[in-house]
Structure 1
């Protein structure tokens, strides 16, 4: 695995550090008035979800890990395991539903997700940034409510609560941003 300098760490980079695999979540380059520059990096453990704040100086060397990325189609869920099919080999794999975290409700049957592997171990599952959902419950539109930019609560067909504009009603399809958990546009 190639080693990189501490000041070359970018958000999203996967590093081998302290005997584990860590993803750089936030990177802040600091140049104090006294002393050398360093990168303040917020790391997240890819295996157990722990977080760590670490300082890396430019002369520090860290192992940069390259993960293998595969597009796989979601088939179904059984006993807390998600079953995906490899689009090239048609091989089925069972992955832990914890890999998706709080974005799990947005995973839909037949959806293509990007799964990142370290050897044979699946570490991350990424679903599309925007998915189409149906509004199952929301408040009715009130006259005069559209003068200022306002939002009202709504419940989607997958049980997730989001805020939507007042002109969107029940049984309408909307595009939802899965990273920010917010309304994007009408579908």
Structure 2
């Protein structure tokens, strides 16, 4: 059982008897004394792909969904689908691009650390590592001497995802990105 106060993005929990992946959590702190903090959760049913919105008190809890994790490899993308391979038995499977819209900006071919979430021998979702390393392919030229300022500039990564990076970073620099928030974490 996981209490609502410990919910995290991309956690897989049982809601109404089905596995759901938490996509967004909004915490509402009450202004009145004695009132409970509310955790508004947006989650996606991993089998039907439907989205649900529920509210829980901090003391409410849900069961973590029982599933198996298997290491997989991202192979390629065609017009509608993304194709993956099971690293154990080399079987291939695909997902509709729409189902993985939040994860596409962080997927690169042969990327390490991707896992499939499997229930009853069926792959129901993929899980990315919390942090990944990517190369900046386009950004304004770095300004010498600006490494001490807190100013940032947009940088386009190899997948097309845009992050705010410190002003002194150049094209070709490898950076670490948080896949849960999409934000720049640091230089590699």
TM range (shorter): 0.7 to 0.9
**TM-score normalized with structure 2 length:** 0.73
Structure index of larger Rg: 1
- Cα deviation code 1:91-137 (max 9, x no counterpart): 11222233432220321111241111222443321122232322222
Question: C-alpha separation between the residues in 1 aligned to 2:64 and 2:186?
Answer: 38
Question: C-alpha separation between the residues in 2 aligned to 1:95 and 1:45?
Answer: 15
- The question of whether the paired residues in 2 share the 8 Å contact of 1:95 and 1:122 is answered with no
**TM-score normalized with structure 1 length:** 0.73
Residues 8, 182 of structure 1: CA spacing in aligned structure 2 closer, same or farther, 3 A cutoff?
closer
Q: How many residues align?
A: 178
The alignment partner of 1:79 has SS state of coil
Question: C-alpha separation between the residues in 1 aligned to 2:143 and 2:57?
Answer: 54
The alignment partner of 2:164 has SS state of strand
- The question of whether the paired residues in 1 share the 8 Å contact of 2:12 and 2:19 is answered with no
Segments of 5+ residues of structure 1 without an aligned counterpart are: none
Partner of 2:94: 94
- Cα deviation code 1:67-110 (max 9, x no counterpart): 22111111222332222211211211222233432220321111
Segments of 5+ residues of structure 2 without an aligned counterpart are: none
Residues 182, 43 of structure 1: CA spacing in aligned structure 2 closer, same or farther, 3 A cutoff?
closer
Q: CA RMSD in A?
A: 3.4
